[in-house]
């Protein structure tokens, strides 16, 4: 899952990003609304965690831009303004969810994951295919009932492949969804991660290479 954190309190923004990365999410961070609009224009995000009171471009305007652009990106407003009127206003602007500061980090993760499932068609909370069971909320993977320990990046790649529902996913798409903007597109990091994932999942192989198209779980 690819997430953009937009928060002008840099310590908080970096702490949120670190926690989300530990939960196998690919996270970019910016500290003002203008930078957020630049990132949204070039990257495909599943969820934007958006502070409302941002410098340069207000968070409300960033949210309106996402909505009016017709993007599939979901918006979670994260703000100190937590009374009912503020929450109603934020949701009216187009935010999909609203979380007031201070917040419990497990709740933030749960809300982001819930928003990430609001695809078309909607995704179930637990993904199952070809004997593989992936529970993103628990970061748990089972292969034919056997628990499979994965690194955060291996888990992220597997989750993207499972979400594709049998379709091929290119290396570029995996890099987009499982790594942040600092990843070097010319490295073989995707191929190496897929090889390690295959080995850990065991025999027979379930992650197949589709020549010229990428990888899929049939």
Q: In the chain, where are the structural domains located?
A: 2-117, 127-216
127-216: same fold as 2-117? Answer: no
The CATH number of the structural domain formed by 127-216 is 1.10.10.10
pLDDT given for residue 122 in this prediction: 63
pLDDT given for residue 91 in this prediction: 72
Q: What is the Cα–Cα distance from 30 to 33, expressed in whole angstroms?
A: 8
pLDDT tens across 39-85, in order?
999 888 999 999 988 999 999 999 999 988 888 899 999 877 656 66
pLDDT given for residue 137 in this prediction: 81
The CATH number of the structural domain formed by 2-117 is 3.40.50.2300
Q: pTM above the 0.75 mark? A: no
Q: Is the per-residue pLDDT at 101 higher than 80? A: yes
Sequence-distant (6+) residues with CB within 8 A of 164 are 216, 217
Mean pLDDT, residues 130-137 taken together: 91
Q: Which residue would you say has higher pLDDT here, 120 or 170?
A: 170
Task: Identify whether the C-beta of residue 112 lies closer than 8 Å to the C-beta of residue 47.
Answer: yes
pLDDT above 90: percentage of residues in the chain: 66
Q: Any idea which residue has 């056997």 for tokens?
A: 146
The pair phi, psi for residue 144, each rounded to 5°, is 55, 40
DSSP code at position 210: E
């Amino acid at each position: 899952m690819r997430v953009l954190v937009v928060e002008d309190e840099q310590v908080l923004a970096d702490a949120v990003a670190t926690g989300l990365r530990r939960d196998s999410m690919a996270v970019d961070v910016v500290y003002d609304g203008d930078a957020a609009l630049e990132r949204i224009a070039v990257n495909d995000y599943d969820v934007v965690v958006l502070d409302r009171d941002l410098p340069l471009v207000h968070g409300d305007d960033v949210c309106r831009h996402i909505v009016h652009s017709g993007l599939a990106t979901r918006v979670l407003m994260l703000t100190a303004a937590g009374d009912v009127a503020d929450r109603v206003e934020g949701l009216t602007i187009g935010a999909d969810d609203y979380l007031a500061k201070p917040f419990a980090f497990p709740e933030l993760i749960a809300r982001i994951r819930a928003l990430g499932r609001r695809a078309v068609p909607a995704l179930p909370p637990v993904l199952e295919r070809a004997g593989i069971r992936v529970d993103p909320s628990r970061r748990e993977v089972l292969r034919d009932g056997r628990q499979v320990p994965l690194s955060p990046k291996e888990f992220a790649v597997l989750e993207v492949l499972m979400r594709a529902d049998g379709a091929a996913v290119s290396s570029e798409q995996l890099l987009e969804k499982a790594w942040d903007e600092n990843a070097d597109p010319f490295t073989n990091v995707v191929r190496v991660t897929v090889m390690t994932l295959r080995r850990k999942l065991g025999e027979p192989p379930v992650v197949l290479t589709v020549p010229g198209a990428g990888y899929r779980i049939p």
